[in-house]
Amino acid sequence: MPEISSMIDVFRFECQYQYSGPLFLIVAGVFFLMTFLGMASNALQIGGRDAALNLNSVFAIIQTHLVFSIIGMFPAIVFVATAITRDHELRTAEVLYSTAVTPAAFAIGRTFGSFTFAAAVGIAALLGTLTGTFMP
């Protein structure tokens, strides 16, 4: 079981690293604001919406999240790619591989840590839609 505990430690480190950086907060804030404004006002249209549809109709919400699911792949790629290549860029990979953490546990912990924050960006878009539908 030491491999699972080391994977959890790497996961925790990755979560702390992603949360302390500005990228997650900026991207989550942009996704929240775009979906919030898309649901709350007529000034911002996400996707091609007909004038006869309500802003918070089922079709408009599905279309909004379809667009943001495609756009949301780019932050996910950035989170995962920076997590995997960070140690080689900072030249700390040799030190990491000399520890008791196996390369598989390291890669799995980093990937799940960055995936968690990519999913949190999607949740920020969902929360923006939810709060935007309750606006007058």
Please state at what angle helix 103-133 crosses helix 2-20, rounded to 10 degrees: 50
Query: Of the ranges 12-16, 93-97, 118-122, 129-133, which one carries the lowest mean pLDDT score?
Result: 93-97
Decide: residue 37, CB within 10 A, 0-12 exposed, 13-18 middle, 19+ buried.
Answer: middle
Round the average pLDDT of the chain to a whole number and report it: 82
Q: Which region, left, alpha or beta, applies to residue 96 given φ > 0 means left and ψ of -120 to 50 means alpha?
A: alpha
Q: What is the pLDDT of residue 32?
A: 95
Please say whether the beta carbons of 104 and 113 come within 8 A.
Answer: no
Q: Where are the domains of the chain?
A: 2-133
pLDDT at 98 over 80: no
Per-residue pLDDT tens digits for 46-62 = 766 665 566 667 777 78
Query: Of the ranges 70-74, 82-86, 120-124, 127-131, which one carries the lowest mean pLDDT score?
Result: 82-86
Structure tokens at 57: 């109709």
Residues 6+ apart with CB under 8 A from 37: 43, 44, 132
Q: Taking the model in full, what pTM does it have?
A: 0.79
